[in-house]
Amino acid sequence: MSLFALFVLAVGLCMDSFAVSLTSGVLLKPFVLSRVLKIAAFMAVFQGGMPLIGWFLGIGFKSYIEAYDHWVAFGVLLFLGIKMIWEGWPRKNEEEPCCMDPSDTRTLIGLSLATSIDALAVGISFAFLNMSMVVPTIVIAGVTFVFSIAGLYVGRQFGRHIHHYAEVLGGIILIGLGVKILLEHLYF
């Protein structure tokens, strides 16, 4: 996978974290740098670590489905992309989040885990692509860190109304990458 494709994948994966960061930016009181960095670091560590865990899991059963690995990667990314679009699509009468402290450690663990489950599945598909995980882990964590900080500041400025569209965009990116992987393995 090229560095550009990896970057695009990282952007797609971090859209859940970006959406959570937007909402967190609205709720974070007081809005201070140490709390912003804490939220972004949690998001980045989980988002970067989950593909690594998925890769280890995928290596374990890779030999059983190697002939169909591109279909597995496509299916996983398609499913996750559709799921992100569905969850991110704005709905009427949707409740706004309650007033919580998004920088609380227990809250952050839950939010970081929930937003990085997609990355675990992507890590499984990396095992089928025979990829080293050093660069993907660093790129995914770095992109997530930057997008999380940006999301916190954008959320602080613009409010709650744009976080849905970030998830929809992330879902579209994941589906596009799944199609790309499938086409590469079938035709190139």
Which of the listed ranges 90-104, 143-157, 161-175 does the model predict with the highest average pLDDT? 143-157
Report if residue 117 sits inside a domain.
no
Number of folded domains in the chain?
A: 1
Q: Which of 13-22, 27-36, 174-183 has the lowest mean pLDDT?
A: 174-183
pLDDT of 21 > 70? The answer is: yes
Q: Does residue 96 belong to any structural domain of this protein?
A: no
**94 assigned to some structural domain:** no
The answer to whether residue 112 is domain-embedded is no
Count other Cβ atoms within 10 Å, centred on residue 108. Answer: 20
Asked whether residue 66 is domain-assigned, the answer is yes
Angle at the Cα of 21 (from 124 to 138), degrees rounded to 5?
A: 40
pLDDT of residue 140 exceeding 50, the answer is yes
Please check whether residue 104 lies inside any domain of the structure: no
| Of 77, 113, 81, nearest in space to 185 by CA | 77
51 pLDDT band (50/70/90 cuts)? very high
Q: For residue 55, give its domain range.
A: 3-89+126-187
| 27 inside domain | yes
Tell me if 106 is assigned to some domain: no
